[in-house]
Chain A
Amino acid sequence: MNALFAVILLAIIVVTFGALLLVVSGMLGPKRQPSPVKDMPYESGLPGQETKDTKVSVKFYLTAILFIIFDIEIVFMYPWAVTYLDSVKAGTGGYLLGAMGIFIALFVIGLIWEIKSKALEWD
Chain B
Amino acid sequence: MLELADYTFYFLALVTLVGGIAVITAQNPIYSALWLALTMVSVAGVFVSLDAWFVAGVQLIVYAGAVMVLFVMVIMLFDLRRETNAFSRGMVSGFLKLASAGIFLGLIGGSIYNSAETVFAPPPAELEKTADATKALANTLFTKYIFSFEVIGVLLLVIAIGAVTLSRVQGGTHAKHD
A residues apposed to B, CB below 8 Å: 1-5, 7-8, 51-52, 55-56, 58, 60-62, 64-73, 75-76, 78-80, 82-83, 86, 96, 99-100, 102-103, 106-107, 109-110, 113-114, 117, 119
Which of B18-26, B71-79, B99-107, B109-117 touches A?
A: B71-79
Chain B: interface residue count, which band? 35 or more
Using CB atoms, name the residue of chain B closest to A105: B153
Given contacts A58-B167, A79-B137, contact A73 B153 (CB under 8 A): yes
Extra contacts besides A4-B45, A51-B80, A113-B164 (8): CB < 8 Å: A8-B12, A62-B164, A65-B163, A65-B167, A66-B164, A69-B156, A75-B58, A99-B149
Q: List chain A residues, Cβ under 8 A from B61.
A: 71, 75
Q: Are B163 and A109 in contact (CB under 8 A)?
A: no
B residues apposed to A, CB below 8 Å: 4-5, 8, 11-12, 45, 48-49, 54, 58, 61-62, 65-66, 68-69, 72-73, 75-76, 80-81, 131, 134-135, 137-139, 141-142, 146, 149-150, 152-154, 156-157, 159-161, 163-164, 167, 174, 177
B73 to chain A, nearest CB (A): 6
Q: Are B62 and A66 in contact (CB under 8 A)?
A: no
Select B135's contact among A51, A76, A79, A100, beta carbons within 8 Å: A79
Q: Are B160 and A110 in contact (CB under 8 A)?
A: yes
Q: Are A64 and B138 in contact (CB under 8 A)?
A: no
